[in-house]
Structure 1
Amino acid sequence: MDITKIGMIGAGNMGGMMTLLFAEYGIEAHMFDPSTKSVNLVLDLAKKAGLESKIFHQNDYESLCKSLPSDSPKVFILSLPHGSVGDKTIDGLEPFLKEGDVIMDASNEKWTHTERRQERLRPKGVHFIGMGVSGGYQAARHGPSISPGASSPEAWDAVWPFLTKVAAKDKTGKPCTAKLGIGGCGHYTKMVHNGIEHGLMTVLCEVWGIMKDGFGWSNEEIADVFARWNEDENSPLRDNFLIEIGSEICRTKDPKDLSKYILTDIRDKVVQDVCEEEGTGTWTVQEAARLHVSAPSIAVSHMFRVASAYSTRREAANKTFKEVGTNVKPVASPTYAQTVEGKSKTFRELRDATYACFLLCFVQGMHIIAAADEEHGWKLDYSDIMQLWRGGCIIQSDAIVDMLDEIYSSGKADKLNLLANLTIAGELGKTIGSLKSLVVDALKMDAYVPALSASLEYLKFSISTDLPTSFQEAELDFFGHHMYDLKSEKAVEPVMGKHHFEWRPARGLRETEEILKKKEQEKR
């Protein structure tokens, strides 16, 4: 179906930029948003871009629906806060919907809400597509990565040409979108994308902190490091969006005072999760726990962000600890790192450690997706997921995605255990030494490394065959009769053990009292 008009509901940062993108592709966009300020901002931007003839403001759901074609399916795109706002929007639209109409939800919505809304609209014959959109407002303006999951196969017929037109394109010109599947898999994939994103961002901020506070490197020196990682064709971190913008952030000066860097005055708090502006990180951690997928790099990154948000609590605790003589603050140890030899070694160590952690964040995220895919029967094509992440998204990291795509395309990957893949094992085997060394150095200087250290420990315990959890298993059996397996037996999948040892018999009150009396007498 050729979409020439679209109803855009939500004119915020993402919705407004997508509206301008659609208009630039020649699509007539009719906007509805209760915020006049947001609408006017988009209209002003449209005028400056020469797109005012393609963008119109509608005052309510009825006028919005009447502005769209009556002789062909109406198409709507939602860009809203997650939660009840989406349901209220459908309430407003529903009286004017007919069979064949399409709603694409481009919000950062929870996948379960998406599936519930698909079921709600199914009897009416209205297609509902949960459409994760990545890349921030800049990508929304020039072409985002799009992760769609449809309510039915027929829904693709209506929107696929449109999606391939407006999506980001990779270096070969291929759209960064795919027909992922049926149900909530589109929003689920975008949710995990954001979980991986939080992991990568936390690793990178920790590495930045080590360079700044531990090694005493300047903003320009750190910017140069990031630029080399990103631009070197042989770098395992080449074409990485977060590293690219990290270099730009480190170089950016205050236009009002060129002696100051913008970054220097930014407070150390990330509030999006706590304010519930952003729910995807929380949901990813919840899903990892629900599906019993070990994802500590992602989980601890989320917890680090949450702790950072409560700056007043941290200040109060910091004051109290100073009163008892404890002050946790990074201690610079820049001497070796400032020498020519030291900088060269440190550069490689930092890069390899960062790469190892980035790769582990991807591994953990893909394990979550694989577990959900197995549970829901989505039958995802994992090469399609890699295509989503080749452009227009925050976690774009071409070297890593190229490698994962090759692994998935081979058809030999154990999707639930990527660490058993020879290629990934080789990459992590080459870099674990650098990660260990960096974590040890960081701990000595009291740098903050929750994601770096969690990634190292994850790798260690995930490939070990003799964990100290045998002691925990014994204690569980002691007080809970939880049973255990023996080392002499063949390893099996997670099932209850077959053996129990009566460490201490369960006794009644009288018997217990007699034993206690006897012990007292023996003491005398």
Structure 2
Amino acid sequence: MSQTEAAAEKCDIGLIGLGVMGKNLALNLADNGYRIAAFDLDHQKIEDAMAQDKAESGKGGRIVGCSSYTELLSRLTVPHMIVLSIPAGDIVDDVCHKLVDAGIKADDIIVDTGNSLWTDTVRREKQYRGQFFFFSTAVSGGEVGARFGPSLMPSGDPYAWARIEPVWEAIAAKVDPATGKAIERFEPGNPVKEGEPCAAYIGPSGAGHYVKMVHNGIEYADMQLICEAYHLMRAGLDMSPAEISDVFAEWNKGVLESYLIEISAEVLREVDSDTNAPLVDLILDKAGQKGTGLWTAVSSLEIGSPAPTIAQAVYARSLSTLKEDRVLASKLLQGPAIDQALVADRDAVIQSLHDGLYCSKICAYAQGFQLMQMASDEHGWQLDFGSIAKIWRAGCIIRAAFLQSITEAYQRQEDLHNLLLDSFFAEQINKYQANWRKSIANATLLGIPCGAFSSALAYYDSYRCETLPANLLQGQRDYFGAHTFERVDKPRGKKFHVEWGRPGRPMRQL
């Protein structure tokens, strides 16, 4: 077939945005038999995508470059399906408007795969209704996931999903349904077709991006917990990055097996080619963020679903940016005198740290899943949490063996209110909590900040506590603001107020 004939062939899917994620999604789609019409404002990115397609396939032609939105539409079969892989924000609306001007029709589908705020997705679905189907699919897995199998969280109109479903199931990561283990093959042109796809319809418009937002919030917490474990070993036990890498590699063989533990071991093993020093020691300790962790923390506050470990992970990143302040404070503010006997008992400290990380991780996921549940109830989404856990078992950043246990928990009890109430997870924390508490005590005695570990334990102790000091708090609120309170010896819902500090004044029921 000549180049002219190849260019004349219709394409199955349009893709706009050929950055790292977009280019790899295009190549993934091509490997799975779809022909792609591709557009980017940067023409060089189009050339790079076509060149990589030719290099990998040996002939090219699976990705066809377009010079305009109008040309992109003309290249596609009807009705059109167009995937956007562009930054979140106003640019999404700008591209949608340009596609309308180019002639997109009411039966066409535009799929937003960026990290959009879920409320923006809800607004767009309503705004463009009748002009085209605005559909969203949150994507997790980074560059490699996009190329060889991401975790996909689609939501929107069910009719649009019926058309998109076979495409997404083809390109998604796959797992062995019995074991929950990822089936991975990183070979261009040889995609994984066996196994259960990590793509499932999440619910109405906005639900998928909300679930991805919480996924990222959990990701923040998981990463911070790992970093606190690293910090205790590095600064508290004076272990080298290579030694800590070995510890993480060993941990990755058990209950903590996960992508994040795996890559943490690799990061710690890397040596700088210029200085021959551990590269991690040369990286400035100021962490960035793109907002999804913050959105999760804000949503938890708005809904009233406690997620302190996720919020603490956001705070930790914010604190890390205060580098100049921290340098000054390190010279003025003293830490504790170090107990050398504690440092000498290194193996015991590391074991307690392992168990503490595991228990803290359980609580971080419990917070995230309960937040999704409360959001689902508030918005009428009817989220399937077992299905969500399933699609996170591979392809996404928080993929872990641990997620198989969460999947099984929701299979045992569909109306599970909190992972801590599941028999398996309750048993795990009962078994390991002594070491969890020791790990936090050790960090405190060594002067190592452990906000995420501590917040997870405080969450656990609060959740298991039948009587919290909120009774005093309600008394305080009624004292200064007449906010009223309920009584344990009266029917729920009845409100009372006291004229505090004025003996003989009766309690009034309101």
> Is the 2:363–2:420 Cα contact (8 Å) retained in structure 1?
no
Could you tell me which residue of structure 1 aligns to residue 413 of structure 2? 411
- Is 2:54 aligned against 1:54? no
The farther-off stretch of 278-287 and 360-369 is: 278-287
Alpha-carbon distance change, 116 to 360 in structure 1, aligned in 2, over 3 angstroms: same
Query: In structure 2, which of residues 118, 123, 129 is the aligned counterpart of residue 122 of structure 1?
Result: 129
**Distance in 1 (alpha carbons) for counterparts of 2:269 and 2:414:** 44
**Distance in 2 (alpha carbons) for counterparts of 1:165 and 1:349:** 42
CA shift for structure 1 position 359: 0.9
- Amino acid of the residue matched to residue 348 of structure 1? Q
SS at 1:76's partner residue?
A: strand
- Is 2:206 aligned against 1:184? yes
- Is 2:439 aligned against 1:427? no
Q: Tell me the matched-pair count.
A: 474
RMSD value, Cα: 2.2
**Distance in 2 (alpha carbons) for counterparts of 1:347 and 1:368:** 31
Query: In structure 2, which of residues 21, 27, 43 is the aligned counterpart of residue 20 of structure 1?
Result: 27
**Distance in 2 (alpha carbons) for counterparts of 1:462 and 1:250:** 35
**Distance in 1 (alpha carbons) for counterparts of 2:339 and 2:396:** 36
TM-score (norm 1): 0.85
**Distance in 2 (alpha carbons) for counterparts of 1:222 and 1:44:** 41
Could you tell me which residue of structure 2 aligns to residue 499 of structure 1? 496
Could you tell me which residue of structure 1 aligns to residue 317 of structure 2? 305
CA shift for structure 1 position 412: 5.1
**Distance in 2 (alpha carbons) for counterparts of 1:108 and 1:24:** 24
SS at 1:315's partner residue?
A: helix
**Distance in 1 (alpha carbons) for counterparts of 2:483 and 2:197:** 52
CA shift for structure 1 position 206: 0.6
SS at 1:98's partner residue?
A: coil
Could you tell me which residue of structure 2 aligns to residue 132 of structure 1? 138
Could you tell me which residue of structure 2 aligns to residue 358 of structure 1? 361
**Distance in 1 (alpha carbons) for counterparts of 2:88 and 2:215:** 16
CA shift for structure 1 position 236: 1.9
- Amino acid of the residue matched to residue 173 of structure 2? A
Query: In structure 1, which of residues 30, 39, 42 is the aligned counterpart of residue 46 of structure 2?
Result: 39
**Distance in 2 (alpha carbons) for counterparts of 1:146 and 1:43:** 25
Q: Which runs of 5+ in 2 are unaligned?
A: 1-9, 178-194, 503-510
- Amino acid of the residue matched to residue 197 of structure 2? P
Could you tell me which residue of structure 2 aligns to residue 167 of structure 1? 172
Question: What does residue range 441-480 of structure 1 map to in structure 2 within 5 Å?
Answer: 441-480=442-481
- Is 2:269 aligned against 1:251? yes
**Distance in 2 (alpha carbons) for counterparts of 1:281 and 1:174:** 28
Q: Which runs of 5+ in 1 are unaligned?
A: 273-277, 506-524
Over residues 232-263 of structure 1, what are the superposed CA-to-partner deviations in whole Å (9 max), with x where a residue is unaligned? Answer: xxx2213x110011111111223455x32221
CA shift for structure 1 position 345: 2.4
**Distance in 2 (alpha carbons) for counterparts of 1:281 and 1:320:** 27
**Matched-pair identity in %:** 32
> Is the 1:214–1:334 Cα contact (8 Å) retained in structure 2?
no
Could you tell me which residue of structure 2 aligns to residue 200 of structure 1? 222
TM-score (norm 2): 0.88
> Is the 2:137–2:209 Cα contact (8 Å) retained in structure 1?
yes
SS at 2:461's partner residue?
A: helix
CA shift for structure 1 position 406: 1.6
CA shift for structure 1 position 44: 4.1
> Is the 1:215–1:334 Cα contact (8 Å) retained in structure 2?
no
> Is the 2:376–2:383 Cα contact (8 Å) retained in structure 1?
yes
Query: In structure 2, which of residues 383, 388, 392 is the aligned counterpart of residue 389 of structure 1?
Result: 392
Could you tell me which residue of structure 2 aligns to residue 267 of structure 1? 284
SS at 2:252's partner residue?
A: helix
**Distance in 1 (alpha carbons) for counterparts of 2:329 and 2:413:** 56
> Is the 2:390–2:404 Cα contact (8 Å) retained in structure 1?
no
Alpha-carbon distance change, 169 to 412 in structure 1, aligned in 2, over 3 angstroms: closer
CA shift for structure 1 position 60: 2.0
**Distance in 1 (alpha carbons) for counterparts of 2:46 and 2:311:** 37
- Is 2:256 aligned against 1:237? yes
